[in-house]
Amino acid sequence: MEKSSSSRGKKRERDEEIGTAAEEIDQFPSLEENLTFSDTLVAIRIMRAQFPHIDKITMQPFILRSQLYSSITDRTQVDRELESLRREKVLRIFKLNTGQDDHAIMFVDDYLKQIDLVMKRLEAKKPGSLVIFEWFKTHVIVARLEPSIDHQELCSLLSFGGEVKDEHVSLLINTGLLVSKTRQLIDPNMYWFAIPNIGSILKGLSQGRKELLSLLSRRKYKEMMMVSLEKKRLRLSPLDMRFHLRDLIGSGHLKTVQSPTGLVVRSKRRKP
């Protein structure tokens, strides 16, 4: 019972921290004033609250690992704190199928809401199939915290709910909760955990990266003031400029330089 009380206490502290972080967002109107943090969880909370509204796509907020790297100087600290939060089942980390070493971070509560959205869409079409999603939430997610799972372990965990059939696993794949590693030619018996509905957003992520880098490459010195750049809109991405700036700074494609007039964003492709 002591352990349970301790866990509830930690959760209350985290929830209070969420509220505090969200309330503070309005005090930081620009990315220049709100670029760096000292704590990974605080950074995630604030970036979550700043996740852009995306038309026609119901998506719970997620953060990229690269965005955290842009906000906290010590990457080892980020990785260590992410691992701790993952083990505490506060958040999940997803390997993204973007052709790069991209990882999305989503709070477990938001991930469960995303699964509920899948269930709601299927409620009218396949009401009898909804049980597999309950098994997935109850037995798989809580037990397997890593980004991937093999077929045998998946079926073993699902079987705590009832008899597992091939169509059950197929439904988890078809609704975007699992991605077969055969697509990456790695292991046909392994799956990545995935975020449903994220496909079109990932396409926009890749296109937005190219668009932003192209925008800077056309500038005389391959740079712009952060304040001016943040106000621009990207045509090819549903994600906003702030999201992309954090991502590209953290991944090393862009860097920031302090100038007398403010923060400058510069492309690292710039030649001397």
Residue 11 structural domain: 2-107
- Check whether 86 has a pLDDT greater than 50: yes
- Check whether 184 has a pLDDT greater than 70: no
Residues 187-230 have pLDDT tens digits of: 678 999 999 999 889 999 999 999 999 999 999 899 999 999 99
Instruction: Specify the CATH number for the domain of residue 140.
Output: 1.10.10
Do 139 and 232 belong to one domain? Answer: no
Q: What is the pLDDT of residue 101?
A: 85
Q: How far is residue 228's CA from residue 242's CA, in Å, rounded to a whole number?
A: 12
Q: How far is residue 258's CA from residue 91's CA, in Å, rounded to a whole number?
A: 34
The two structure tokens encoding residue 260? 């007398």
- Check whether 175 has a pLDDT greater than 90: yes
Q: Do 238 and 204 form a contact (C-beta atoms < 8 A)?
A: yes
pTM: 0.84
Q: How far is residue 105's CA from residue 94's CA, in Å, rounded to a whole number?
A: 6
Residues 240-265 have pLDDT tens digits of: 999 999 999 999 999 999 999 999 99
More confident residue, 15 or 34: 34
Last residue of a domain, one of 193, 223, 252: 193
Using alpha carbons, select from 252, 258, 10, 259 the residue that is nearest to residue 267: 252
Residue 90 lies in a domain: yes
Do 115 and 55 belong to one domain? Answer: no
The two structure tokens encoding residue 106? 């989503």
Instruction: Report how far apart, in Å, the C-alpha atoms of 168 and of each of 6, 135, 162, 198 are.
Output: 37, 10, 11, 21
**Radius of gyration of the chain measured on its C-alpha atoms:** 20
Number of domains in the chain: 3
Last residue of a domain, one of 63, 80, 107: 107
Do 10 and 96 belong to one domain? Answer: yes
pLDDT, average across residues 75-102: 93
More confident residue, 138 or 14: 138
- Check whether 268 has a pLDDT greater than 90: no
Last residue of a domain, one of 89, 107, 125: 107
pLDDT, average across residues 43-64: 92
**% of residues, the chain, pLDDT over 70:** 85
Residue 175 lies in a domain: yes
Residue 272 lies in a domain: no
Do 97 and 13 belong to one domain? Answer: yes
Using alpha carbons, select from 115, 85, 83, 78 the residue that is nearest to residue 198: 115
Tokens 């093999």 found at: 150
pLDDT, average across residues 75-85: 95
Residues 117-138 have pLDDT tens digits of: 999 988 877 777 899 999 999 9
Tokens 């799972």 found at: 149
- DSSP annotation of 86 reads H
